[in-house]
A and B are shown apart, each in its own frame.
Chain A
């Protein structure tokens, strides 16, 4: 087998992961990495993985043989190579992070020196795709057209190219970056000047290119083996044309508007290009296609697994990453089998008999000041995939899955001040603007002109909307109409809303006429061959279900839905572990999820994968078909948790803690009286439904600051801390929009409190596993953004004891069976409860991997009634785990990169150390922190904080760093005898200005802590923080964290940080 293209079978392979989830690099790489590891292990090859992302499945027991929770940077990778003596490295499974790291290792000669061979696509091919200039040259050699462009390495060159060589409009694009970072379409000179510095900050080379905005954007996923066999697995068409990043576009597979000639012209070009580049494994090629002719341009080739390839795998059932890993080992395509049919070979192109839609999920509203527009840069944080047998069925499903609280493409879902403007200047809501425009009779032609969206999609949507209008004429639909509505993707709830009836009414009507969805298989060959596949979706376009339900005892697990701020890969880890635990006990597992970036939706994770909505309608239909023993709702995060009551009320069996008890914890009033009843302290809070009551309410709470929030949300949408009354009034208007039917909840904000979390598993009210983690940042920084330490370092024993007691009391009272999580405020010895989540939480993978007790596995076993004795290992750990948040501020233009009670991070890492400082540094280095070498810019906020930072400042000075500070800070520090350069901020012009020294690259670390607000209501220091984020300069905005990092740096030089794998710390680790 080996030898076809690889002369020698590798013995030990190093796989680079992609690190924390960030915008542009998310869960898809957990999926592809996990598949690669499986594929290599099957061959008896040892695998070593470097990935600090502790919430991933690839960094779990039973995956890679050795796991390093370390930064994926050349320095650490080199040391792991030395320690592990690996003979090969594979670069294509960890996104751009891994690719760039691999390039660096090769260019600096490390790979050669250590005799490590790159398997799969070779570095030269990678370079030819990444370096735009080489890329264009390569493609010219085979007569494949690329956009007219000039690669520039300075701003002057770029200016010349944009204005003269190419001519405006142009698009600026960074080489060696991902998610279109630094890309911008520029039509005027002024715009050009603004964008140039930003473009060059992210990439040493910038491409000035003719603008192809408005052309169709098409992608192909290509695989090629070392012998040159090559095929395209799937093509995809962006509904939003060129100019909107594929990650920001609604995407359809297969293409809908290409005829045979166009489809196969692009396919042939793809194969020609990939052969010429010499890819071995998988890659993705993107085209622009003129909607009015055969003209095309190749936009780019990604010589690695990508977000699109994860999508293509899920869309077709073709396991791209798995196959790519096998190809890297020298297999040829036809030697591998099609894992879906199990009787045909992997050398085939899937034929789909359904339509797939990917829809991005954005969270831009969470960022104050963020520009709510989409374009050539990626800003979305997650995505969903829907499957249907008509375009509209899939589209409406997708829009429901995204979790905006809509029932599909409801024309009235959102208000638009100026519809035409909205259509022309796209925001995440554009598709709803299209719906609204069609509803209000704007006409397909005009909408096409404004949006560039192909008319075919508009016709389909128009047809669907007109059916909704038809329904409005009826009090009750007749059978034919109801059937047609369901085929167009209307949900029961959506229909009920139009009719003014209830979901139950519509459901009953539907059942009376036997209008039920059927389960269809995704079998890669459109039923041409019998397939044993367990990969299924629901559709109302069918008369027959493909698979019968078995007689085995089943457990149904609800997945986490799209990744978004507040809920991402950690819940996927929980789902996968829960499914595994149930499988181990002999249950047949049925998993429902709709996120293509996940491992839970890998066909071999569970016995039956239903790729569909996590809504009452879908879940109850599946329940009826499958008749499971029960449903696990507590591992998928808040979406599934919110279904508990309706599912329970409809007679479905919920496993673990009872639905009514879950509701007692979720409902603020019920929970509050429960706490009172048990004598447990909580921050003072009250509910207010009239703004006139405000002064009285503030008084009741004992004055500001006050935390404002709506109930029943996960990660604090529209939650804020108001420091005075006027601020509060301002904010309330915004919050009211979030849930008009719900009054606002006002809570006394506890200043200078520590925040503590407990993650636990209980069984019939008895707590059997628990771990207490401490936040580095004081309360007020959302627990998802905070730096968590396990075991806690600075807690009083008494505090720990009280927390344990509270958790025990509540578990007992609510008869908890399964996972739960609580957050506390602690000041001196007093402990107050923030909240109780009767489900798995974000930190479950972290505590499981740090303690060595798998919390989800245990929780699932308990929910299924299995009790084995176990030891809670959290109690004596002789090492420390630190979890740190990853922010993606540089991608969210305009957003203030600061921390508050609203969660803002997109991902996280978890690292180990002998002590807190070691683990902290590793975790920070994993999320983009770099040891400063030049200078530090300090803005230290309130006076108290300024004094507190004097000692750390001294350390920084001793490290030989030049200190810069904004006026207030500088004055105080000078007084204290520091040698510090005073710099101006926006409100106090002086020489030099803070922004200038950042631009000039004189500082490489910014500590900026602020509480005041400027005239525009932006916190002071916004511009400095923003610039630091834009230029990728490490930025810390929290005092406790800043102190801890500086302390740690004084104890460890970067090269002194020990290189240890998971198993070195945790016995059960790998």
Chain B
């Protein structure tokens, strides 16, 4: 199999997943562990993922195990990445929890994968030229002309990964709505673990209609350009007129920013890694975070009643915003981790506190 990029560069390697072709955006991730979590992250929908860490699949793929009522450590019910490029995968894995190899899993789920590629050189190319589109093709296609390759129409990608029906998870007496834009399960787990009762709703659900039933809203991560999800932006705008807490992660963060009147833009090659340093501008504390996004909020476009909360220590891009006038906040990174460091898990507690405070205020 081979990968042919927009710039006509050809990267030949060996197939170790499904043997189907695919066309999509090619992105890279620098995480050194956590491929099970990464591959099932719906934010990757429609993308071909390049792993910079050369050895993948070492500990195999486990059987799902129920944790907080959800299959673990899978972040959704299938592999979301549409193609995988690595230097080398383990044909034989080793872990007490492993049930199959990475290759088997990819094969079962029909996801093409190529190994024996200089992923560092590929990454450097993507970094220099920016994210490109690419095609995964069989070796037999000597002209690299394949058309009609499976692909995903990105403007509708959120609709593709969002749940179609409302689901209820009952825990304590605080109830929240979690908007699924391609949600990672660990967001839900993190909320449930803190005793919140969660109603997961599809991305285009009329959020205001839930206003009397819930104590707050949580907007999940997801794939694609936030500007394509204007239904949700409109719905959020409604919420911002009121006083119940809203918290967003990743795509949820970008959508909240758009709703607030700020702007988003596409990064040249995105942040996809588990080692992104961010700083809380108020406390000056720094955290290492897990990230996966290609779009970012434009710091300069924030309306006057919104503050930049976190910034990226490496490139100073926006990593979080907070409203001055209401209990609304969001972060670009993933406090739910999985994969990645758990430094910012405290933000879920922060959300719970926001709810507690707003309940108190609202009662008064």
Contacts and interface: CB of A to CB of B under 8 A. Distances in A.
Interface of A: 227-229, 231, 254-261, 263-264, 267-268, 271, 291-293, 332-334, 343-345, 347-355, 389-391, 454-456, 459-460, 463, 520, 525-530, 541-544, 546
A543 B37 contact: no
A348 B288 contact: yes
B337 A264 contact: yes
17 contacts: A229-B286, A256-B55, A256-B58, A259-B36, A259-B62, A259-B95, A345-B314, A347-B288, A347-B313, A348-B277, A348-B314, A351-B30, A390-B88, A460-B90, A525-B275, A526-B53, A527-B120
A269 B340 CA distance: 14
Given A292-B96, A353-B54, A527-B124, A260 B87 contact: no
A353 B275 contact: no
A352 B274 CA distance: 12
A231 B276 CA distance: 12
B73 A334 contact: no
Contact of A459 (B30, B90, B124, B337): B90
B234 interface: no
B53 A353 contact: yes
Interface of B: 28, 30-34, 36-37, 52-55, 58-59, 62, 73, 87-88, 90-97, 118-121, 123-124, 127, 273-277, 279, 284-286, 288, 313-315, 337-343
A541 B313 contact: no
A525 B30 contact: yes
Contact of B94 (A231, A354, A455): A455
B54 A541 contact: yes
Contact of A351 (B87, B273, B284, B337): B273
Contact of B121 (A258, A348, A544): A544
A351 B73 contact: no
A355 B52 contact: no
Given A254-B32, A291-B96, A345-B314, A528 B273 contact: yes
A463 B94 CA distance: 14
B31 A351 contact: yes
A350 B286 contact: no
Contact of A526 (B30, B91, B339): B30
- Which DSSP category, helix, strand, loop or mixed, fits chain A's interface? loop
Contacts of B94: 257, 454-456, 459
Given A264-B339, A351-B30, 7 more contacts: A271-B343, A334-B313, A520-B120, A527-B120, A527-B124, A529-B314, A546-B124
Nearest to B73: A261
Most buried by A among B31, B285, B288: B288
Contact of A348 (B31, B87, B90, B313): B313
Contacts, number: 164
A754 B187 CA distance: 78
Nearest to B62: A259
B53 A351 contact: yes
Given A333-B286, A527-B124, A258 B33 contact: yes
B118 A260 contact: no
B174 to A, nearest CB: 26
B52 A351 contact: yes
A255 B96 contact: no
Contacts of B93: 456
A390 B54 CA distance: 7
B190 to A, nearest CB: 14
Contacts of A543: 118, 121
B135 to A, nearest CB: 19
A260 B313 contact: no
B118 A527 contact: no
A739 to B, nearest CB: 38
A347 B53 contact: no
Nearest to B88: A390
B59 A259 contact: yes
A656 to B, nearest CB: 37
A541 B33 contact: no
Contacts of A347: 277, 279, 286, 288, 313
Contacts of B337: 264
A334 B277 contact: yes
Nearest to B124: A527
Contacts of A256: 55, 58
A355 B123 contact: no
Nearest to A350: B275
Contacts of B286: 229, 332-334, 347
A526 B342 contact: no
Contact of B279 (A271, A291, A293, A334): A334
A463 B341 CA distance: 33
Contacts of A353: 30, 52-54, 119-120, 123
Contacts of A463: 91-92
A390 B59 CA distance: 16
A542 B118 CA distance: 5
A490 to B, nearest CB: 16
B33 A227 contact: no
A260 B314 contact: no
A293 B120 contact: no
B338 to A, nearest CB: 7
A390 B55 contact: yes
A333 B284 CA distance: 11
A89 to B, nearest CB: 28
Contacts of B62: 259
Contacts of B73: 259-261
Nearest to A391: B55
B127 A530 contact: yes
A530 B279 CA distance: 22
A547 to B, nearest CB: 11
A755 to B, nearest CB: 52
A391 B277 CA distance: 29
Contacts of A227: 284-285
Given A352-B53, A389-B54, A257 B59 contact: yes
Contacts of B87: 389-390, 541
B277 A345 contact: yes
Contacts of B276: 348
Nearest to B51: A353
Contacts of B313: 334, 344-345, 347-348
A264 B274 CA distance: 11
Most buried by A among B32, B87, B337: B32
5 closest A-B pairs by beta carbon, nearest first, are: A260-B34, A456-B94, A455-B94, A526-B52, A544-B121
B277 A352 contact: no
A264 B54 contact: no
A231 B274 CA distance: 12
A348 B95 CA distance: 29
B105 to A, nearest CB: 14
A260 B53 contact: no
Contacts of B120: 353, 389, 520, 526-527, 542, 544, 546
A259 B274 contact: no
Nearest to A349: B275
Nearest to B343: A271
Nearest to B67: A261
A5 to B, nearest CB: 12
Nearest to B38: A260
A530 B91 CA distance: 33
A9 to B, nearest CB: 20
B318 to A, nearest CB: 17
B8 to A, nearest CB: 16
B328 to A, nearest CB: 27
Nearest to A456: B94
A527 B118 CA distance: 12
B268 to A, nearest CB: 11
Contacts of A345: 277, 313-314
B55 A263 contact: no
A230 to B, nearest CB: 9
A291 B59 CA distance: 12
A257 B55 CA distance: 11
Most buried by B among A264, A343, A526: A526
Contacts of A293: 96
